[in-house]
Amino acid sequence: MGKGELDPWGSDTVKDYSRLLSEFGIEPVAPLLPRFKKLSPHLSRGIDFGQRDLSRVLDAIDGNKPYAVMSGIKPSGDYHLGTKMTADDIIYFQSLSKRATAYYSIADVEAYSDNGLSFRETEKTAVRHVADILALGLDPDRAVVYFQSQEIRVMRLSSIFSRAVTMNMLKAIYGERPIGLYMAALVQAGDILMPQLQELGGPKPVLVPVGADQDPHIRLARDLAARYHDEFGFISPSAVYHKLMLSLAGDAKMSKRSETTLLTLSDTPSAASKKILSAFTGGRDTVEEQREKGGRPEICPVYDLYRFHFAHDDEHLQRVFHECTKGIRLCGDCKQEAASLVKSFLVDQQKRREAMTSDAKELLARSAKHLASAGR
Ligand code: SF4
């Protein structure tokens, strides 16, 4: 990838979000906030910072019209706090209207192309992921969960799309990549546009909540929606972008590429606690200096734990920020508090996930039946 470009498969974090607004045409979310009846923590804390055509989805909510929330997960490891961000957004936007359907793709084609994992290997992981998102609050009655490789519509759309894209176009969006990743990108465009097929209710607003680094996929899907508008009636998909949380080393985004600096929803509470206690912080070299100058939450992955997931509410988050920047809070105590929040979350989540395993299998089976009976 060229310097400054977005890499959906990489581990770089985004340093300057305002540049995404000015250079990539992502619009800020802030002007649309008054249209929400209740803000999610992602919205009230500026974590969801950008959007494309989000007003189209808000119009559907106001008009009690159907819309879809679409995202997916690559089943290449345990669910981690970075992927939980997208899950939180899916669940929130699904909850805003009874007319919303959540589509959740298990990106096994991408797991094969990017990580060399066989479809059989990824199947087991996928059930755990579905149980995780159910445990986080996804409403299974308005959700369709499927494997990319098994959904003929997605594969067919990706073949259809391959007619309209050239190597130059893919290189311009993704840089030089193996053909498998280009194919996975086309499959993902198939995922994003599938909910608009006639047999699934026809063209409708589709919101894709993604991390900021995934914008290349959104741009490709929107380009293809325009190119195939006459044939399928596609409406350009909407997107909401969240900021990327830091790995515990503070030098990259939290991703499966670095296990030691990653917190997963399957970590034992004590292992998670150990990782947090040895995390990088935005603290100063000495207690005296910290008391005098305050810490730097803007570069601190421990602060990200509070901000992105574990602060009880916005007031709690503001308190952490205030105490940190004023030198009232020291990193050791701050880490202990974060570790204890994470531990109690993990105990609950793992209990809930265990109880959801059969629901996850049932949702996968019910979705497969629903998609098979929808006609093609
Ligand atoms: Fe990070 Fe907490 Fe230290 Fe501030 S006090 S730099 S938030 S660990």
Could you give all domains of the chain from N- to C-terminal order, each with its CATH number?
A: 17-247 (3.40.50.620), 259-352 (1.10.240.10)
Q: What pLDDT does 73 receive?
A: 85
Could you tell me the distance, in angstroms and rounded to a whole number, from the CA of residue 298 to the centre of ligand 1?
9
Strands 143-147 and 238-242: unpaired
pLDDT at 285: 95
**CA–CA separation, 161 vs 122, rounded Å?**
26
Predicted pLDDT of residue 174? 85
- 94, 59, 194, 221: CA torsion to nearest 10: -110
Q: 67 versus 9: which is more confidently predicted?
A: 67
Class of residue 330 by CB neighbours under 10 A (exposed 0-12, middle 13-18, buried 19+):
middle
Query: Does the structure show a pLDDT above 60 at 11?
Result: no
Residue 219 has pLDDT above 80, yes or no: yes
Q: Name the CA dihedral angle for 244, 222, 76, 246, rounded to a multiple of 10 degrees.
A: -10
Cα 199 from chain centre: 27
DSSP state of 241: E
List the one residue out of 136, 158, 144, 135 whose CA is nearest residue 68: 144
Cα 300 to ligand 1 centre (Å):
6
Atom of ligand 1 nearest to the CA of 330: 5
pTM: 0.91
pLDDT of residue 14: 66
Q: Write down the pLDDT at residue 16.
A: 74
> How many angstroms does the Cα of residue 80 sit away from the middle of ligand 1?
22
Check pocket membership of 216 for ligand 1, CB cut-off 6 A: no
| Angle (deg, nearest 10), helices 17-24 and 215-227 | 20
pLDDT score recorded for residue 118: 78
